[in-house]
Amino acid sequence: MYGKEIERILVSKEQIAARVKELGAQITKDYEGEPVTLVCTLRGASIFFADLVREIRGDVEIDFIACSSYGAGTTSSGEVILAKDLSSPITGRNIIVVEDIIDTGITLTYLKRLLLARQPKSVKICTILDKPSRRKVELKGDYVGFEIENEYVVGYGLDYNQKFRNLPDVCVLSRDVYGG
């Protein structure tokens, strides 16, 4: 189905859709009667974000932020850059940061600290994928779609050098592509 750059499908679009529904239902229940701002971390979480927000009922606002700890390739530089800030203030609001994947945890630790300094009511993390074995700093997702092994994945918004974000499934990238 995909070309030779893709080794195999790890999480199919049907599995993703079912899990996103569950996450949306859980968030709806947890925030009943409470307004919440869902923050999309660009660019990787954009596809998950669009699916997730439509599975949440209630008083929801959306906003976007962009930071990166990755240069080209598959290993983190460890340095996080804020490339785009939120459009609205978040003081006193419930925030859910929506992420594509937690890997070392460095990006979200930075982001959480940045947001907490603005004194929101709460900050939680929702990620579609989690690679707990790769963690360099202690960080847990509050809502996690799938825990995966230490493999480089693309698709459903995740990229390798900006490619493959448009694949509907989460796929393992062939090691021939990045020489891992």
Q: How far is the CB of 108 from ligand IMP (least distance, A)?
A: 6
Q: How far is the CB of 126 from ligand IMP (least distance, A)?
A: 13
Draw the binding track, 88-117, toward ligand IMP (x: CB under 6 A; -: no contact).
Answer: -----------xxxxxxxxx----------
| Range 117-146, binding ligand IMP (CB under 6 A) | none
Helix axes 46-53, 13-30, angle to 10 degrees: 60
Draw the binding track, 145-164, toward ligand IMP (x: CB under 6 A; -: no contact).
Answer: -------xxx---x------
Give residue for tokens 């997730």. 52
Q: How far is the CB of 29 from ligand IMP (least distance, A)?
A: 26
The smaller minimum CB distance to ligand IMP, of residues 31 and 47, is found at 47
Catalytic residues: 103
Q: Are 173 and 164 in contact (CB under 8 A)?
A: yes
Among 2, 70, 146, 178, interactor with ligand IMP by CB under 6 A: 70
Q: Which residues pair with 171 in a beta bridge?
A: 9, 154
- DSSP, collapsed to helix, strand or coil, labels residue 63 as strand
Q: What's the token pair of residue 137?
A: 């700093």
- DSSP state string for 117-168: TT--SEEEEEEEEE-GGG-SS----SEEEEE--S--EEBTTB-BTTBSTT-S
Binding window for ligand IMP (CB under 6 A); candidates: 24-32, 52-60, 68-76, 90-98: 68-76
Q: How far is the CB of 54 from ligand IMP (least distance, A)?
A: 21
Q: How far apart are CA 180 and CA 165, in angstroms?
A: 20
Among 44, 141, 145, 155, interactor with ligand IMP by CB under 6 A: 44
Q: Are 171 and 155 in contact (CB under 8 A)?
A: yes
**Interface ranges with ligand IMP (CB under 6 A):** 44, 69-70, 76, 99-107, 152-154, 158
